[in-house]
Amino acid sequence: MSRPFQIEIAESEEELKKRLQTVSSGIQKEKLQMLWWLKSGQVSQQQEIGKRLARDTSTVTRWLQKYRASGLSGLLKIKKAAGAKRKINDETLASLKQELETGKGFSSYGAIVEWLKQEHGQDIEYATVYAWVRYRLGAKLKVPRPQSHNQDEKLISDFKKTRNYS
């Protein structure tokens, strides 16, 4: 025989209903809905809550334990993963940004990979370097096309003036 289901909800029914109407996250809405059902007396068993929310009873139990331990704020808190450590540290990034801003720059992303390996001892993949330089730093490695030394400047300017852009 199982233990009787008992839980004390500190918040009022009106407060829970008001928060339920203003919350935007789906998971938070489910948790508040559960508490509101319990406070208003609409449900009396964990299995019934699980059926109404289409959640396993172990999930409902875990939510209720979290509410008992840390209250409403602890129940509604959404944890966010820290994420992976950056492959390029701040010092190297500042140095790379400074190098990109100089007139000399780099001829290719492969050259940047080699520069990072030689100057900073960091072996970073091409795709990572490309993503950092192109999207995060907003730099483009554009090099002007080579031009012949034998071109006539007057012919070029006349062509630009008379060219039809339609």
Three-state SS at 12: coil
Cα dist from 4 to 1, 36, 45, whole Å: 9, 19, 9
Render pLDDT for 80-129 as a digit per residue (tens, 0 to 9): 888 888 888 889 999 998 888 886 778 889 999 999 999 899 999 999 99
Render pLDDT for 118-142 as a digit per residue (tens, 0 to 9): 989 999 999 999 999 999 888 887 7
6 confidence band (pLDDT: 50, 70, 90): confident
Q: What count of Cα atoms within 13 Å lies in the side-chain half-sphere of residue 159? A: 6
Length of the chain in residues, anyone? 166
Cβ atoms 115, 64 nearer than 8 A: no
Report d(CA 134, CA 141) in Å as an integer.
9
Report d(CA 136, CA 97) in Å as an integer.
10
